[in-house]
Chains A and B, each alone.
Chain A
Amino acid sequence: MSGVSEHVVIVGAGQGGLQAAMSLRTEGFTGRISLIGEEPGLPYQRPPLSKAYLKTGAADALTLRPAAFFEKHDITLVTGTRVDSIVRDTGHVLLGSKTLGYDHLILATGTRNLRPPIDGLEHALDLRTLEDAKRLRKELDRPRTCAVIGAGFIGLEFAAVARALGHKVTVAEAAQRPMARAVSSPIAARFAEMHLQMGTRLCFGQAVKEVDETGIHLPDGEKIDADLILLAAGVRPNVELAQAAGLPCDNGIVTDAQLQTADPAISALGDCAVFPDPRTGRLVRLESVQAATDHARTIAKRITHGTATPYAAVPWFWSDQSDLKLQIAGLAFPEDDCIECENGSVLRFDGDALTAAETINNPKVHMKARKILALQAPPGRDTLKRAGYDLTLI
């Protein structure tokens, strides 16, 4: 990109959108910044909603930056406002009856909960926004029998908190194991074991058929009684705004290695963006704080300085469930090999290349993996094998 943008409009005031605004100022951008969010209130952290917040209810602790911060850094925060459309020809966005011109537009629209076509799903609650989490917390103030649809991070984090509070919990999952999209079988098995030990019932290979006000119906005919039903079956990227503006979308808003969409005046970041995986070039979409904030920094540098360093950050993810902390460094594809290490961690390989390390309560290996994966020429499988697959010896 050449020339200096005068007005950057950011659509979406989640952690990624906010980071873009903050990084623009850190990089020395002196033009106007408008950060537009659909939810009310100040930008907040989502990860704790299914973890610490459910336990403590401390909503103030979620706020990412106070109101005074936006004033101090001259960032115009517009909340409770939905952007209806993008007019690319003239460089405007439409918000209700208002229009707002942009020189550069950043789409940080995030995701929304996937609501599969299951009869009676209106009886199930969501856990995505602060409002959702507040409602759930209120529902948990008396003994409950919970049914959770989906054994991904959110469903299991909720299950761990609810069970620890003494509620009965059953989790139904369509796949044969928990967190099937995110982790290898050995790690999934250890989490399943922990949940079983807590007294949570897990039903795998059970795509919920029907929901009613008294519980959920499994395909094998079993009815699981519940007076609190949580839907946690994954998310869908919010691409409609980009799609309607004619930008290519493919399970997310398609960007290049600089997080730029097909339109040089529009970037996309975080959960709603698909971008080329730096290692394989495959288009990927990540749902993480890391991707949202690292994308934001890359875009802010490009807008401010016109430089276009290809995005190459090492992905990382975490999940806290009871006393187990899952940490993932890197990005493995389902077909990648899986090596179980003596220290309990799992290394994933694509041929000779280390692609990811999955660890439980082992920050040392996790951080070492992040360092190794960031190297220009990371040690190959044979080298790691000679070290007994102990990354801390590398």
Chain B
Amino acid sequence: MVKVTYIAHDGTETTLDGAEGDSVMATAISAGLDGIVGECGGSMMCATCHCYVDDAWSDRTGPRKDGEDDMLDCAADDVKDTSRLSCQIKLTAELDGLVVHLPSSQL
């Protein structure tokens, strides 16, 4: 299992156990976490799974995937250097302990 901590806009922290290969988005959705919508199911058709990767982890999550920049352009909240679509971050053993921050809104 890979632990992922989601820090909501209001500061609430939720730590979930994800499976290797699952995305940060899917892990949140399957636990019913509010704050990530994932409307298109990870098809890169929306920007409703926007997250900010914690500074301590952004090297390990790597650069944005092809097309991610373009989708993030339509994110509801500010896009920062650490902004990612959480459907495009796949969990690996190296990401155990990952921390992501959630925006104030996804729509």
Interface residues of A: mostly helix, strand, loop or mixed? Answer: helix
Pairwise interchain contact B43-A363, C-beta atoms closer than 8 A: no
Q: How far is the CB of A80 from chain B (nearest CB, A)?
A: 21
Bound form: Cα–Cα A48–B74 in Å? 23
- Interface contact B71-A363, CB-CB below 8 Å: yes
Decide: A47 near B30, CB < 8 A? Known: A363-B67, A367-B71. no
Contact A327 B45, CB 8 Å, known A63-B30, A69-B32, A72-B32: yes
Q: Is A64 an interface residue (CB 8 A)?
A: yes
Q: Which residues of A contact B43 (CB under 8 A)?
A: 47-48, 318, 320
Task: Determine whether B102 belongs to the interface, using a CB cutoff of 8 Å to chain A.
Answer: no
Q: How far is the CA of A47 from the CA of B51 in the complex (A)?
A: 24
Contacts of A297 in B (CB 8 A): 107
Nearest CB of chain B from residue A391's CB, rounded to whole Å: 12
Determine whether B73 belongs to the interface, using a CB cutoff of 8 Å to chain A. yes
Check: A364 CB closer than 8 A to any chain B CB: yes
Q: Answer whether A48 and B70 are a contact pair too, CB < 8 Å, given A60-B30, A61-B26, A65-B29.
A: no
Bound CA–CA A367/B73 (angstroms): 8
A contacts with B, residue count (CB < 8 A): 27
Question: Which of these, B32, B39, B67, contacts A289 with CB under 8 Å?
Answer: B39
Chain B, residues 4-26, CB within 8 Å of chain A (1/0): the string is: 00000000000000000010001
Residue with the greatest number of chain B CB neighbours at <10 A, chosen from A60, A61, A62, A325: A61
B56 within 8 A of A: no
Q: How far is the CA of A293 from the CA of B40 in the complex (A)?
A: 10
Cα A68 to Cα B29 with chains together (Å): 11
> Closest CB-CB distance, B64 to chain A, in whole Å?
12
Pair B44/A371 contact, Cβ less than 8 Å: no
Instruction: Give A contacts to B, CB under 8 Å.
Output: 45, 47-48, 60-66, 68-69, 72, 289, 293, 297, 316, 318, 320, 325, 327, 363-364, 366-367, 370-371
| The 7 A-B residue pairs with the shortest CB-CB distance in the complex, in nearest-first order | A69-B32, A363-B67, A363-B70, A364-B70, A45-B41, A367-B70, A66-B32
